[in-house]
Amino acid sequence: MSLAPPRSRNGRIKIDVLIPAIDKDLETLPFVIDAIRKQVKHPIGKMMIVSPDSPRIKALCAKKKCTFVHERTVLPITKQQIRYRSKRWERSGWLLQQLLKLSGDRLGSSRYFLTMDADTVLIRPHVFRQKGKPVFYCRSWSHPEYFRVSRKLLGRRRTAPSSFVAHYMLFEKAKLAQMKKRIEARHGTRWYQAVLRSIDRSKQFGFSEFELYGNFVYAANPRGVVFKRCLNKSLSQSVKSISAKRIKALAGSFRSLSFHKRRGYSLKPKELKK
């Protein structure tokens, strides 16, 4: 019996999709789902929306033919237990959705799964495997705290030349499971507890699941990955206010659009610290 991942007629590997979401994402989520089906050039298996018990999200899943997954079946911790906040900001939910993405190796049946932020819409075609190598969409700047925590978790300095924070990423389940086992062996506790204990809770941007996994894969085989510029544009307006004509124009310069509403969510870019 062949253990090779299933492929489509054009040779591209089948993938699942995982999107953590809550009710506030319902404005963008339908557009995110539609864009994945249009722009991701892989056959898609399960499209999974991981959420609290929300009738509105369940209704959207039924309408869009997605699989609803209750977040409590994925992780044994809740947003209330994380307690990652200050007097000025609340980041517990932001951290929880990262941990849910890192739990995707327990969901679906495909060897690979794509995670997507629920406020980011693809506007150009995307491929995530190329000549047997994973394709990572990257940017030139990041937050130094992401690398400090990753080093604490895995005992390795950052080695990749770019940042993996692009609002979406393809994970290979076997490599993700290997990374989490390494964290557990190093810290003597469950991987998600190790993450929670490693974060400096005085920092608003204290952890990145994409930097953690991307640098883990890159460190193991630097020549075994493909980098592409993510070319993401952040917008403050409603996704519903963007005309098809403007999206077509933006697609000439960008691959995706992110609709960040919360003040302070997206900071001005700064150069990566080497």
Position 10 in a domain: no
Query: What gap in Å lies between CA 226 and CA 21, rounded to an integer?
Result: 28
- Domain membership of residue 92 (yes or no) is yes
In a domain, 271, yes or no: no
Q: Report the C-alpha gap between 86 and 20 in whole angstroms.
A: 23
Question: What does pLDDT average to over the chain?
Answer: 90
Note the pTM of the prediction, 2 decimals: 0.90
Residue 270 lies in a domain: no
- Residue 149's nearest CA partner among 96, 209, 101, 80 is 209
pLDDT of residue 5: 63
Query: 213 lies in which domain range?
Result: 15-259
Task: Give me the residues paired with residue 168 across strands.
Answer: 116
CA–CA dist 13, 44 (Å, integer): 9
- Residue 230: count other Cβ atoms within 10 Å of its Cβ: 22
Nearest partner of 140 among 223, 205, 214, 229, judged by Cα: 229
Give pLDDT, residue 74.
96
**Model confidence over 193-203: pLDDT tens digits?**
999 999 999 99
Q: Domains in the chain: how many in total? A: 1
Give domain status of residue 210, yes or no.
Answer: yes
* Residue 1 maps to a domain: no
How many other CB atoms are there within 10 angstroms of residue 213's CB atom?
A: 24
122 beta partners: 256
Domain membership flag for residue 53: yes
**Encoded tokens for 19:** 């999107």
Candidate from 127-131, 185-189, 270-274 with smallest mean pLDDT: 270-274
The CATH number of whichever domain residue 84 belongs to comes to 3.90.550
Q: What is the pLDDT of residues 38-75, one digit of tens each?
A: 999 999 999 999 999 999 999 999 999 999 999 999 99
Contact present, 44 and 17 (Cβ < 8 Å): yes
Pairing of strands 120-122, 256-259: antiparallel
Give the dihedral sign, CA 172/10/49/32. Answer: positive
Contacts of 125 (CB under 8 A, 6+ apart): 39, 40, 41
Is residue 125 included in any domain, yes or no?
Answer: yes
